Structure 1
Amino acid sequence: MKNSFPFGVLFLMLFASCTQQPVITLKNPLAEERTDEVIVLSRKEIAAKIALQEGKLPVFKNGEKTIPSQVDDLDGDGNWDEVVLLVDIKASETIEATIELLAESDYPKVEKRTNLRLGIHQEDGTYKEVDNYKAVPVSEPFKIIAQGEGVTWENDKIAFRVYFDCRNVKDLFGKRKPVMVADDVHTPAIPDYHVLNDWGMDVLHCGSSLGSGGIALMRNDSLIRLGSTDVYEYQKIVEGPIRSVFDLKYSGWDVDGEELEAVERITIYPGKYWFESDVTVYGCAENDQIVTGIVTSQLKKEPFRFEAADFSCIGTHDVQSLNNDELGMAVIVPKNETGKIGRTSDVNWFEKGFKTVPEKGFSNIISETYYIGQQCKNAQPAKHYFFSVWGLDKEQWKTEKGFREYIAEEAEKLSSPIQKL
C-alpha cells in the first residue's frame, strides 16, 4: 500500500521552518541566580545566526521581553564589531534569545549605567570632554589639566579615576546612590568631592602607593611604576549604557635603562564592584611581571589572600576610608598567571629626597602598597580585576567576611561564564 502524507501538514511544516526566528541559547552553568550578567557576542557569531543587513542592528528578545543590549564599534571603522547583552538569569536556567533586525533609528533605549570622562581645562574655567588626548609630557613642568585631576570611569555602584599626569596613580569614589557623577565632579555641581555628599565622596588616600590598582613592572625584584613616561595618552573606545571601554597608552617607559611601551585597556560594566583591566607590555623581558596593588597607608589590620575558583586574590578591609569608615579593596588574577605577592616598605621616599612631584608630595618610588604580580608575555595582554566596596554603601561591606564572600562569588561567575549555544 502506498504511504501518503497530507499536503496541508507538509505546507505548515515548511512555512514554520521558513518563518522560525533565529535563536541564540544562553545557559547558566551555575546553580545560582545571576543578575546584571554581561554577554558579549561578536559580529561573526551573530552573522552565523541571521543574515545581517546594512543600516539595521540586531535586537534580542526573551519571549516578549527585549533584552537590554549595546552595539559597539571597537576598531573605529564605522561598522559594529560586538553586541553586549545584559541579562538576569536564574540558577541553571537556559534562555532562548531570539534575534531580529531593526533600523538604527529604532534601536531600543537602555538606562545608562556606565560612564567615562576626561575633561580638559579651558580658558574660561570649564572642562571640555575629549575622546583622545595626551597628558603633559614628563619633560615639561608638572601641571594639572584634567577635571578631577584625571580620567574617571564609573558604573551605578562605584567610580574610579587615574591621575592624568606623571603620577599615574588610580583612586576611587565611593557611592551612596546609583548615579553617574564623573561629569559633575570638580564643577559647581560637585565643587568639593573630598567631603561627604549625598551621592558619596573620594574615599581613598593614595600618597606614593599604587592606590587602587595602579600598574608597575617587577624586574629582578624591583618595582618600576608605570608613570613618568614620554607619552601618556587617553583613547576612548566605547562609552555606553552597558559597557564603557578606554585605553591608556604609554611609550618611553624607562625600565632599567630600556624604553618600553604599554597599553592598559579598562572596561567597566553595570552592577559590579570591580573593573576589568587588560595590560599589554611591549619589550618586557622573560622573567618580568606585571604588578598591580592596593594602598596600605591607612591599614591597621593585616591584608588577606585566598584562592577562589580560577583566581588568586589579595585584598584589604579596614576602617581606612577618608570618611573614617570601612573600605575594602582587592585584586584577582588568574591562578595560572599569578606571580609574586608581597608588600612594599612604608618608607616616605619623598622625604628622603626622591621628589617626583613636589607640588603633591609625590615620589615615583612605590611605597605603602600590597601587590600581586602576573606573568608578563611580550605584546600579550594580561587580565586582572580590581574590586572595591565602601561600608557606607551597603551593610555587607562593613565586614571583611561580607567582602570576601562577594569576591568569591564573582570569581566563580568569571570562571563559569554564561554559555552561548
Structure 2
Amino acid sequence: MKQVLSVLSIFLVSFSPVKTKKEVCVKNTLAIVRHEVVSISKNILTELKDGNAEKTWVVKEKKSGTVVLSQGIDHDGDALVDELIFEVTLGPNEVKEFVVSLGDETKSSPSALSTHSRLVPERIDDYAWENDLVAFRTYGPEAQRLVDEKQKGGTLSSGLDCWLKRVNYPVIDKWYKKYVDGGTYHKDDGEGYDPYHVGASRGCGGIGVWKNDSLYVSKNFVSSRRIAEGPLRNIFELTYAPWQADGSVVQETKRITIDLGEQLYKVEEIFSSDKRLPNITIGVTLHEKAGKVTVDERQGLFSYWESLDDSELGTAVIINPADVISHSDFRTKKKDLSQLYIIAKPQSGLTYYTGYAWKKAGAITSSEEWVNYLSTFSKRLNTPLTVTFK
C-alpha cells in the first residue's frame, strides 16, 4: 500500500500544473506622469519557469491585452535571465496591472528606439553609450598610450564627454563611421555633434578625490565589459588602473546603466583604497564660467546651464543628499579646472545620476525647464513605483 501511495505521489508531483503566469500590479503614488522601467527579480521569475529554454518572457497589460516592450538581462553571463524589465507609462496616482508569462505568445513589435554601448577600437578605444535622447563617451587605453609615448592623436582623461544628439535613433556607430571615412562628428549635419570640451576637467559627472585644494583623478580606463544591451537598458563596466590620491592607492570600477527615455544615466562607483579617503568628488565642468549654477541640497540636485555655440546646454548630477558632505562652485584661471564639485562621503559604493539636456533637441529648452526636470527626477528616485505580485 505504501508503495502505491509513493508512486501516486510521484505521479501527482510530476504532472501537477506548473504556474506559468504572474500578475504584476504597478502603482504611481505621485501626482505626475511617469514613464519608467519596472524590474522583476530572478526570485519571481524562477516561480514561472517550466524547463523549456526555447520559450520567452512576455509582458501584457492586463486590461487591454497589449504586449509591452520588455527585456531580459543576464547579469552573471550564464545565459539565463536574472532580471526581466518592462516599460510602463502611468498617469498621476494611476494603477495598472500586467501579466507576465513564459510562453510562445506574440511578442511586441521590435522597437525603433534602443540603448547602445560599445568599445570603439577604430577611434583609439573610446567607450561610447547612448539612448534615444542622449549620448556620451569616455577615453580608453589606446588614447592614453599615444599620449604616454608622445605620439599624436591621443587623449589623457577619465572625464565624461557629452555627444549632443537631436534624433531619437542610435548615432554612435554612424558618427564613428563618419570619422573613419574622413569626416567629423564635430560638425552638426542635422543629427547632432560633439562640441563639448572635456580636456583636463571631469566633463559631465567624472569623479576624483578632493584633498589639499587639489583634485586627484585616474587616467583612462584600461578595460571594459558590456553586461546588457537591449531596447530598454544598457549596462557596462569600466575598470581603471590603480591610481594615486595624495599617497593613497585607489582601485576603481565604474558601472553605468542607461535606460531608454531618460536624460540622465546611473553611475555606480566601486571603490577601494589602501588608506581611508577623505571623500569621493563628482565634477561638472563650468567651461567659460558664464553659465548658471543651480543647487538644491535637499534634493541632491546640482545643475549647470550654459550657452554652447548657437544653442544652450544643461548638465547635472543627482545624488542622495545623505551621501553629500558639501559642494563647491570652484572657479580658477587655470584652463579646464573651473568645476561644480559635489563632495561625497567616502564609501566602497557610491551611486549618482548624471547627464544633459540640449536646447536644440527640443525637449528641454531653458534652465528653468531643466531644473524642473531634475527636480521631478529626484522625486521619482525618492518615491519608486510600487510593485506587487499576485
Q: Tell me, in whole angstroms, the C-alpha distance in 1 between the residues paired with 2:273 and 2:52.
A: 41
What is residue 318 of structure 2 aligned with on the other side? 332
Q: Tell me, in whole angstroms, the C-alpha distance in 1 between the residues paired with 2:353 and 2:209.
A: 17
What is residue 374 of structure 2 aligned with on the other side? 407
Matches within 5 A, 1:178-197: 178-188=168-178, 191-197=183-189
Specify every segment of 5 or more residues in structure 2 that has no aligned partner in the other structure, as ranges. 1-16, 145-155
> What do residues 327-348 of structure 1 show as CA deviations (whole Å, max 9, x unaligned)?
1111111011012211344343
Shift of 1:395: 6.2
> What do residues 264-318 of structure 1 show as CA deviations (whole Å, max 9, x unaligned)?
100101111111100011126445222111111223134121146xx31111112
* Residues 290 and 306, structure 2, Cα contact 8 Å, conserved in 1: yes
Q: 2:267 aligns with which of 277, 294, 298?
A: 277
What is residue 382 of structure 1 aligned with on the other side? 350
What is residue 51 of structure 2 aligned with on the other side? 53
Shift of 1:179: 1.6
Q: Tell me, in whole angstroms, the C-alpha distance in 2 between the residues paired with 1:284 and 1:273.
A: 36
* Residue identity matched to 2:42: R
* Residue identity matched to 1:278: E
Q: Aligned residue pairs: how many?
A: 352
Could you say if the C-alpha distance between residues 199 and 82 of structure 1 is closer, same or farther in structure 2, counting changes exceeding 3 Å? same
Identity fraction in percent: 25
Could you say if the C-alpha distance between residues 281 and 102 of structure 1 is closer, same or farther in structure 2, counting changes exceeding 3 Å? same
Matches within 5 A, 1:23-62: 23-35=23-35, 37-48=36-47, 50-55=48-53, 56-62=55-61
> What do residues 156-179 of structure 1 show as CA deviations (whole Å, max 9, x unaligned)?
111011122441221111122112
* Residue identity matched to 2:300: S
Could you say if the C-alpha distance between residues 82 and 52 of structure 1 is closer, same or farther in structure 2, counting changes exceeding 3 Å? farther
Residue range with higher mean Cα deviation, 335-344 or 404-413: 335-344
3-state SS in 2 of match to 1:403: helix
Q: Tell me, in whole angstroms, the C-alpha distance in 2 between the residues paired with 1:344 and 1:246.
A: 31
3-state SS in 1 of match to 2:360: coil
* Residues 157 and 199, structure 2, Cα contact 8 Å, conserved in 1: no
Q: 2:228 aligns with which of 225, 238, 241?
A: 238
Matches within 5 A, 1:180-219: 180-188=170-178, 191-219=183-211
Shift of 1:221: 5.0
What is residue 131 of structure 2 aligned with on the other side? 155
What is residue 340 of structure 2 aligned with on the other side? 370
What is residue 7 of structure 2 aligned with on the other side? none
What is residue 244 of structure 2 aligned with on the other side? 254
Q: Tell me, in whole angstroms, the C-alpha distance in 2 between the residues paired with 1:20 and 1:261.
A: 44
* Residues 179 and 199, structure 1, Cα contact 8 Å, conserved in 2: no
* Residue identity matched to 2:200: S
* Residue identity matched to 1:419: T
What is residue 305 of structure 1 aligned with on the other side? 295
Matches within 5 A, 1:85-164: 85-102=86-103, 108-111=108-111, 112-121=113-122, 145-146=124-125, 150-164=126-140
* Residues 68 and 108, structure 2, Cα contact 8 Å, conserved in 1: no
| RMSD over aligned Cα atoms | 2.4
> What do residues 103-123 of structure 1 show as CA deviations (whole Å, max 9, x unaligned)?
5x97545414211121213xx
TM-score normalized by structure 2? 0.83
* Residue identity matched to 2:51: Q
Q: Tell me, in whole angstroms, the C-alpha distance in 1 between the residues paired with 2:20 and 2:268.
A: 40
Q: Tell me, in whole angstroms, the C-alpha distance in 1 between the residues paired with 2:282 and 2:94.
A: 36
Q: 1:418 aligns with which of 366, 385, 388?
A: 385
* Residues 318 and 326, structure 1, Cα contact 8 Å, conserved in 2: yes
* Residues 69 and 110, structure 1, Cα contact 8 Å, conserved in 2: no
Q: Tell me, in whole angstroms, the C-alpha distance in 1 between the residues paired with 2:333 and 2:139.
A: 22
What is residue 76 of structure 1 aligned with on the other side? 77
What is residue 137 of structure 1 aligned with on the other side? none
TM-score normalized by structure 1? 0.78
Q: Tell me, in whole angstroms, the C-alpha distance in 2 between the residues paired with 1:315 and 1:183.
A: 29
3-state SS in 1 of match to 2:369: helix
Select the structure that is richer in helix.
Answer: 2
> What do residues 58-78 of structure 1 show as CA deviations (whole Å, max 9, x unaligned)?
221113111210001111122
* Residue identity matched to 1:44: N
Could you say if the C-alpha distance between residues 85 and 301 of structure 1 is closer, same or farther in structure 2, counting changes exceeding 3 Å? same
* Residues 71 and 83, structure 1, Cα contact 8 Å, conserved in 2: yes
* Residue identity matched to 1:61: K
* Residues 251 and 259, structure 1, Cα contact 8 Å, conserved in 2: no
* Residue identity matched to 1:386: T
> What do residues 119-152 of structure 1 show as CA deviations (whole Å, max 9, x unaligned)?
213xxxxxxxxxxxxxxxxxxxxxx623xxx111
Shift of 1:324: 3.2
Residue range with higher mean Cα deviation, 196-205 or 18-27: 18-27
* Residues 216 and 224, structure 1, Cα contact 8 Å, conserved in 2: yes
Could you say if the C-alpha distance between residues 256 and 93 of structure 1 is closer, same or farther in structure 2, counting changes exceeding 3 Å? same
Q: Tell me, in whole angstroms, the C-alpha distance in 2 between the residues paired with 1:72 and 1:19.
A: 22
Could you say if the C-alpha distance between residues 208 and 413 of structure 1 is closer, same or farther in structure 2, counting changes exceeding 3 Å? same
Q: Tell me, in whole angstroms, the C-alpha distance in 1 between the residues paired with 2:232 and 2:238.
A: 20
Q: Tell me, in whole angstroms, the C-alpha distance in 2 between the residues paired with 1:161 and 1:18.
A: 46
Stretches of 4+ moved more than 6 A in 1? 17-20
